[in-house]
Amino acid sequence: MATYLLLHGAGSDSSYWQFVAPGLRALGHEVVAPDLPCDDDAAGLVDYAGVALDAVGDRADLILVAQSMAGFLVPLVCARVPVRLVVLVAAMVPAEGESPGDWWSNTGQVAARRELDEREGRDPDAEFDPVTTFLHDLPPDVLTAALADGARRQSDTPFERRLPMPAWPDVPTRFLLCRGDRFLPADFQRRMVRERLGITPDEMDGGHLPALARPQELVERLEVYRAAVG
């Protein structure tokens, strides 16, 4: 069996994986899902990766699953420990030598998100609403709990601190995009993945947070990827 290292995205914590982790454990896998230091203004991406590595310890046979902003951690983690497979889920993909703060303009994410909002009838200049952008496809009970818990504050430090990224690791990599993603639009992700990873992403329905909206499907897809690398 494998060890799944599950890394959540910005403004979140390990509870993002609350429905996925039990499904993987039920299949006999070990699951490590650390709380990254999102709200610590002293912490940059190297510190985030350090937290992930500390959580892994001496575990082996790692499958690294990175959601959204955690895509930046993949090259940093893979440089320190052997990783059998990387699975990116609606994730940001850094280019070699790129600092995280430059990612938005380099990839064209802002324009792509604006174009999607206009095409689907949302005001691109409206005040940020987490339900509209991130939580729109959650089951009602999960949505209620998410709104009650609120989001963690996300520090700007990882994007403000200059950190030219290493090259993408020589590790089998799969990318899973969500066709209803309003933060990283599907067309944007298809282009980014093709240009930066040279692969064609796999696709599923739903928005930016599939571990909350469609956890069983996500577990099944992770297991397909794991089996494919042997």
pLDDT (tens digit per residue) in 174-193: 999 999 999 999 999 999 99
State the pLDDT at residue 180: 98
Helices (H), the chain: 20-26, 45-56, 74-78, 103-107, 109-119, 130, 140-149, 157-160, 186-197, 210-213, 215-229
Q: Model pTM greater than 0.85?
A: yes
Average pLDDT score over residue span 12-24? 97
Q: Mean pLDDT for the chain?
A: 96
Average pLDDT score over residue span 201-205? 98
The residue behind tokens 């499958």 is 63
Q: Is the pLDDT of residue 2 over 90?
A: yes
Q: Is the pLDDT of residue 1 over 90?
A: no
pLDDT in tens, 54-75: 999 999 999 999 999 999 999 9
State the pLDDT at residue 191: 98
pLDDT in tens, 127-155: 999 999 999 999 999 999 999 988 899 99
Q: Is the pLDDT of residue 126 over 90?
A: yes
Check if the beta carbon of residue 135 is closer than 8 Å to that of residue 146: yes
State the pLDDT at residue 146: 93
Check if the beta carbon of residue 117 is closer than 8 Å to that of residue 123: yes
Average pLDDT score over residue span 221-229? 97
Task: State the CB neighbour count (10 A cutoff) for residue 155.
Answer: 18
Average pLDDT score over residue span 13-17? 97
Name the CATH topology of 3-229. Answer: Rossmann fold (3.40.50)
pLDDT in tens, 84-111: 999 999 999 999 999 999 999 999 999 9
State the pLDDT at residue 151: 84
Which has the closest alpha carbon to 123: 36, 182, 64? 182
104 vs 61: CA distance, rounded Å: 33
Domain boundaries, the chain: 3-229
Helices (H), 67-107: 74-78, 103-107
State the pLDDT at residue 230: 80
Q: What letter would DSSP give residue 177?
A: E
Q: Which residues of 13-46 are buried (b: 16+ CB within 10 A; e: fewer)?
A: bbbbbebbbebbeeeebebbbbebbbeeeebbbe
For residue 64, the SS3 value is: strand
Q: Could you please report the per-residue DSSP string of 183-228?
A: SS-HHHHHHHHHHHHSSPPEEESS-S-HHHHSHHHHHHHHHHHHHH
State the pLDDT at residue 149: 87
State the pLDDT at residue 210: 98
State the pLDDT at residue 81: 97
